[in-house]
Structure 1
Amino acid sequence: MHSLLKRLLTTTVAYQVGDIVSKVFAVALLPIYTRHVSEAGYGVAELMMTAIVLVSILVRLGIGEALVRYHYVDEDQQRRDALARRAVGFLLVATTVVAIPLALAAAPLSELVLGFRDVGVFRVAVLGLWAFTNLELGYALLRVDERARAYALTTLSNVLLTIALTVFLVVGRDKGAYGLLLGNYAATTVVLLGLWFTMRHRLRPRRGGADHPQLHSLRELLRFGFPTVPADASVYALNLVDRYYLFHKYGAATAGVYSLAVKLAGVVAFVVRAFQYSWPPLAYSIKDDDEAARFYAFVATYYLLLTGWAVAGLLLLGRWLTRLLAAPEFYEAHVAIPWLALGWALYGLFVIFVVIAGRAEVTTRNFPAAGVGLVVNVVLLLVLTPPFGIAGAGLALAGAYVAMLIVMRLLTRHLFRVDFEWGRIVQIALAVGGGAALGELLLPTSGIAGLLARGFVFFLLPLLLIPLRFYRIEERELLRTMVRPVIRLLPSRRS
């Protein structure tokens, strides 16, 4: 258990070095961006970025998921390299074939998506689709090889270059939404080309390598990966449907304020994304089914504790966070932040169920759950946004993920048995969720007194689990074992 948890934490941190820096700079630059890009322009940029990720899922056809799954089936390095070449070559062709007609039809398509014609913005988005999709597979290769340092350096380079280009274009050249998009995807393209260059010896075609009798064919890869596409697309569509609906129903400015709320809920999204990247390789690498089942249950419990605490913090302190980091016209964003953060946290649980189904090599169960979630999201959007505005959109997202988790649990419980720790999960809900709700209802919503009181409640929440005997003896010992090396690095009192 200790070695598995250490691997999970090590890779999680390594895979999120770039995201940590990105989030820090993104937060630091929000006061600048929100004063140089209008609410409507911010809404346009965020809508296009979200659409790029959704279309990317469709274009990939699940080839990345198949690469991660079958990489661990065979330990022969030559066959692993051949598998990587097959996946990268297929995706390069697929993205190029899709990007060319999209770029040529930029004028009518931009009018369809945005409601007005903007060829420049749309063609930058097409470049982003091509570069982002291929770079995601490049990142997957680094993750399955557990090349944590290379992954961290690559993502960090992408982040720093993106920041430099975006600030230059948005602040220096006043390019608005176009500058936000071009800064992001020009940097992505440069990093992608650099990553391919560093992998050139591995990715260069070799005679006979793809014909090895034990190598999985492209058809086999797509047979595993393609059934994951409808589910993944439906899940990610939850991130697009609300913004698209708000954009066209209530205007680009409302969508821009909501997009800022999504950005500020990124504290939880950061944890979830790190977990999403590091969890599948580790979960699939555990050979013994009983050990895997116990570890899955343990990770689910502490994942809920960590993300639940983060959601509670955003519920209690979201008002101050918004006032600190955004221009006054964006202050309304705080009402949606906790619900969006809760939705992100629930999505991480969905990732656990996806791995459970993937371990049994059954990927067709994901789509019904994702489809139910999408339908629930649309219905709740129509019902909740008229009375509650963007807070209703956040509630709709959280409700959709609840529905998905219920369906996914029902569909996967007989594929691979995992006895989740329901008693401890209820304790987390009562202590962390209940404590945060009481703080939100009873404590002041402005002023230094309100900030200090709510901050105190936030730090108190995990301690409320101690009287409930939530923390087991072996878990406390495991924590001491992991913290002890860090303490040794600290200077002693004598020194």
Structure 2
Amino acid sequence: MNRYRRLVANVGVFAVGNASVQILSLAMLPFYTRHLSTGQYGAVDLAMTSLALLVPIASVSIYEGVLRFAIDPNYSRQRVLSTSLAVMATGAAVAALLLWLLRLGGFIWLPPFFHWVLFAQMLQIFLAQYTRARGRTVLYAVSGVVLAGSLAVFNIALIAALGMGVDGYMLGMFAANLTSISVLIWFDGRDLRRPSKVSPALAVELLRYSLPLVPNAAMWWLISGSSRFVLLHFEGLRVVGLYAVASRIPSVLSMLTLVFGRAWQQSAFEEVNSETRARFYSRVFEYLVLMSFLATSLVLLFLKTGYELLIAREYAESWIYVPVLILAVLFQSFASFFGTNYSAAMKTGGALTTSILGGVASVGLSVVLVPLWGGMGASSGVAGGFLVMWLLRVVGTRSYVQIAMPSLAVRLSAVVVGAQMVSLYVGLDRQIEFVVGLSLFGLLAALNWGHLAGLIRFLGRHDAVNP
């Protein structure tokens, strides 16, 4: 299989695993907005945001090292598995002690079951990454489907039937992670049943790779998650709840870029020593930008209609945050694409530096803009942080691989998408607004028709192995 087809195949498989969570999350949004108040949904969102920060810290991002080292034929997979499990268990024990002490001292408040969700999520991500490294991408996809499906079932039972509110959501998250873990162990637990000796030398190598990714992940959180806490301080839980619902809509686009990112990471690792990698990387980035713009245009076209059909009236005003949050997702996906170059070259320090600067920019913008604009200020802070990170990575990765900027047609597409975003805010009649949006989507497709047709032809060519 040539490398382009392999990338597309990986995208297809990872789409099932990663996208299932986002699709079901979006499908459950009407349920949550009808059974949870804006304050309750804000509390749930803050808990999930906190987990996003604590998982990489408590696990020292060792799951990233598992993927990188277990996929490398120069290392024993079983030795990597045993050693990384030992490292993660140590990190989990330290995290449990620190959280207990902080809670005992009254420094933090955590919802019930938070600790159990944290540790279950760490193990689920770890085992899923190891499954990817072993090449069992179908099982990886199935585990994602199981996680998303069981989360929906448990939450319907606990929130709607038993009326447990925020506690029910947390308990459902814990049970869903356990269900996914059980599937991974049942179908791919052979190496767990035949543990290898823990290698201190390998542990040092793993930590040298993974540790720089911990503050890197924290900085990603600082950009996308800290805005919630700034909002909480200035605006209260209600606005956090509105912002949380608005952030779920761009998850459609985020889902696509996440799926692509998982597949791209694997392809980038496999092609890191290829002599034609620069051309390969450049072509892939061009199509990433193009497909992101097309997906963005579609989401914008049906945004207000979707809100009327799916979202409870209590949350209706939150749509105004969505276009800016979509912009943030675009910048995030571009930054992630260039960030993979650091990981492929095993130079993760560069990812850390650019993430820190992006995080500082995001927090600074949020602190300044939230008191002025509320949720719109938080959205703008997130978009600004990811824009800074992306631009820094464009410059910082040139020494590893020269990625060409997209063609003129794709760059003009950015102007078209920008015009479509602006059209949502000018107060046009809804029918006129839809016609304008549809026309701009048609213009976008026309601008890039040659690219789309070429992509289809290109992926079908047998000589694409060495373009």
> Does TM, normalized by the shorter one, top 0.5?
yes
Asked if residue 139 in structure 1 is aligned to residue 128 in structure 2, the reply is yes
Residue 471 (structure 1) aligns with: 451
> Following the alignment from structure 1 to structure 2, what is the Cα–Cα distance between the partners of residues 112 and 96?
18
What is the percentage of aligned positions where both structures have the same residue? 23
Does the CA contact (< 8 Å) of 2:18 and 2:141 recur in 1? no
Residue 462 (structure 1) aligns with: 445
**One-letter identity of the residue aligned with 1:135:** Q
Tell me how far 1:445 sits from its aligned partner.
5.0
Residue 178 (structure 1) aligns with: 167
CA gap 1:287/1:314 in 2 versus in 1, 3 angstroms: closer
Asked if residue 417 in structure 1 is aligned to residue 402 in structure 2, the reply is yes
Q: What SS does the aligned partner of 1:322 have?
A: helix
Does the CA contact (< 8 Å) of 1:67 and 1:83 recur in 2? yes
Does the CA contact (< 8 Å) of 2:366 and 2:377 recur in 1? yes
Cα RMSD, aligned residues only: 2.7
Match of 1:112 among 100, 108, 113: 108
What pairs with 1:21-170 in structure 2 (closer than 5 Å)? 21-74=20-73, 79-103=76-100, 106=103, 112-113=108-109, 121=111, 123-170=112-159
> Following the alignment from structure 1 to structure 2, what is the Cα–Cα distance between the partners of residues 13 and 284?
18
Does the CA contact (< 8 Å) of 1:43 and 1:252 recur in 2? yes
Structure 1, unpaired ranges of 5+: 114-118, 483-495
Residue 381 (structure 1) aligns with: 366
CA gap 1:64/1:454 in 2 versus in 1, 3 angstroms: same
Structure number with higher relative contact order (C-alpha < 8 Å, ≥ 6 residues apart):
2
Residue 191 (structure 1) aligns with: 180
Tell me how far 1:29 sits from its aligned partner.
2.8
More deviation, 289-298/89-98: 89-98
Does the CA contact (< 8 Å) of 2:423 and 2:433 recur in 1? no
CA gap 1:306/1:481 in 2 versus in 1, 3 angstroms: same
| Number of equivalenced pairs | 462
CA gap 1:176/1:473 in 2 versus in 1, 3 angstroms: closer
Tell me how far 1:68 sits from its aligned partner.
2.2
Tell me how far 1:240 sits from its aligned partner.
1.6
Tell me how far 1:195 sits from its aligned partner.
2.1
Residue 220 (structure 1) aligns with: 205
Asked if residue 301 in structure 1 is aligned to residue 254 in structure 2, the reply is no
**One-letter identity of the residue aligned with 2:391:** I
Tell me how far 1:70 sits from its aligned partner.
2.3
Residue 486 (structure 1) aligns with: none
Q: Deviations over 1:374-433 (max 9, x none)?
A: 111122112322333212211111111111112222222223333343645423323x42
More deviation, 99-108/284-293: 99-108
Q: What SS does the aligned partner of 1:112 have?
A: coil
Match of 1:231 among 216, 219, 243: 216
Residue 428 (structure 1) aligns with: 413
> Following the alignment from structure 2 to structure 1, what is the Cα–Cα distance between the partners of residues 178 and 102?
21
CA gap 1:421/1:126 in 2 versus in 1, 3 angstroms: same
Q: What SS does the aligned partner of 1:471 have?
A: helix
TM-score by length of 1: 0.85
More deviation, 334-343/436-445: 436-445
Residue 488 (structure 1) aligns with: none
Does the CA contact (< 8 Å) of 1:427 and 1:465 recur in 2? no
